[in-house]
Every structure is written in C-alpha cells, then in structure tokens.
Amino acid sequence: MRFHSPQKLRTIADLIGAKFVGPEDFEVLGSNEIHMVKPGEIVFVNHPKYYDKALQSAATIILIDKEVECPEGKALLVSDDPFRDFNAINTHFTRIYNFTEELHDVEIGEGTRIHPSAVIGNNVKIGKNTLIFPNVVIGDRTEIGDHVIIQSNTVLGGDAFYYRKLNGNFDRLISVGNVVIENNVEIGNGCTIDRGVTDSTIIGEGSVLDNQIQIGHDTIIGKKCLIASQVGIAGCCVIGDEVTLWGQVGIASGNKIESGSVLLGKTGVNRDLEKGTYIGMFAEDFKTYLKKEVKLRRL
C-alpha cells in the first residue's frame, strides 16, 4: 500500500507510539507484507525466526519487536506489538468501510451492464463493455477492466485469510489492498477472490476461471490462464502466463508456477514449479509418474 503522500519516520513513530532508529525525516512511502514489500515501504516482523528475512528484504523501514542493528540505508520502528501497529498504520491511511457506508465514488465505463442485485463497494472502477451477473459482490477499491464477464455469486475483494493466535483467539491482519481484474477476463459462478493485505490480487488479461474457485490475497495470476472448477490458490502465489490448472488443484502460499505449465486434476503444489506438466499430491512430473506406474504394474 502506498500512502497518498510521503510520510516521515517520526510521524509514523508518533502515530503508533513506537521508538524509531534512523533520521526523523527518513521518508516512508507506504507499507507492505513481506512477500510484496518494495523500497520505501514498511514491513513488520514479530518473531526472531524472521528477523533476518525482514531486515534483508526490499523494505526500507522495519517494524520490529526488538532493538537490533539497523542495516545501512534503512530505519527501524521498535514496537511491543508490530502486528497490532501494522494494522494501526494501514487503517490510518486506508479507511475500512466493509459496506457499512454507501459513499461509492464508482467509475463505470460505457457499455457496461450491471445487474441490479449486484453489490458494489466504494472507490471501485469498472471498464467498458463489462457484464456483471446477479448477486455479484465487488469490494472496496476493486479495479475491473474492459470486456470482463463476472458470473453470479462471485465475490471480489473479500478479506485476506491472515491471522495470528493471540490470548487463545484469532486476531486478523486487516486487508487494505485490492483486487485487479484485467481486460477480457471471464470469471465463473461462485468464485471468491480475496483482496491483497497491502497490495493487489491480480487476474491477468485474457484469463478464464471456471466456477467455485478460491484465490488468496496478493496472488498474481498471469495472462491467458485457464483455471478449472474447485481450484484453491493460497495467498502470495505467482502463476505465470498461459498456465492451465485443472479441477481441484491446490497451491500452498508463496509458490510460483512457471509460464506454460499444466497441472492435472487434484495436483498439490508445495514448492515452486518449472515449466512442465504435473500430477499428484506433491506435483510430480507427469512422464515420471507414468513410468513409475508402468513399473509398479509389472511387479
């Protein structure tokens, strides 16, 4: 998430009541979670296991729960609860409406048709010649391109599934990102596409999604992908261009699928995959799988 205007380190520190390490006028451009963070942005870390990853990431400002040596060219915000304060920063700069106020500010392109039963949040942009079916829900800040089809009961821009355990309960990381649907995308019935925590969940141009597909926060789907029914993709995945995912494929968070790959039905993915055709619970190369099956049958 980029702030509307650059902020100073002291301003952010005062906002959350944190100690800062670095020049008080150190520039802060926004915030982001670890998989998506860019220079000028804040990332939070609240466990020693991930200190090095956060400190060595592209983040320029690290919101951390312990005083550590600050890398050159970066700054620290030292907090007793970085998770809480990350939420405080994000919701200070991005207001959360969740359909409780009908302020709208919606842009709709020429030739677009929206069924009266569709529900549209605030600050939404919809391009030209797009068709939105009954009971579609479009969350705040969603951006939809031209010549898009969104079929019934699909939800764009729901909250990210991102929690921590706190005092025996689950505490949500508040989602202030959005969903971006590029031109010529078709989305089937009953799909759910979560908005980014602090960035964008993106469906690339020309991609086609079947019914009942779940796509997690901050995931990027490439151009001209074909995704069959009941596929589940966790957050922060990157799916290349022209990838085919057949029914009930499941992809764990943070994994990358190279362009041109094919994942056959019920394939499970728990690692990055190079271009190829895969099958099975642990995404086995399809030709290797067939050879193994032949040997087993000959035993």
Quote the CA–CA distance of 216 and 254 in Å, as a whole number: 10
Beta carbons of 183 and 147 less than 8 angstroms apart: yes
| Long-range Cβ contacts of 63-71 (<8 Å, 24+ apart) | 63/18, 63/89, 67/19, 67/21, 70/21, 70/22
CB 186 within 8 A of CB 203: no
The pair of structure tokens assigned to 205 is 């141009």
Beta strand 268-269 with 250-251 is: parallel
From the candidates 4, 35, 147, 217, give the one annotated as an active-site residue. Answer: 217
Radius of gyration of the chain (CA): 21
Distances (CA, A) of 5 to 29, 71, 176, 267: 7, 25, 16, 44
Residues 6+ apart with CB under 8 A from 10: 20, 24, 25
> Residue 131 is encoded by which pair of tokens?
């068709």
Q: Is 13 helix (H, G, I), strand (E, B) or coil?
A: helix
217 is annotated as an active-site residue: yes
Task: Point out which residues pair with 287 in neighbouring strands.
Answer: none
Instruction: List for the chain the helix, strand, coil content (%; round to 5).
Output: 15, 30, 55
DSSP track, 65-103: SS--PPPTT-EEEE-S-HHHHHHHHHHHHS---TTSS--
Name the residues annotated as catalytic: 217
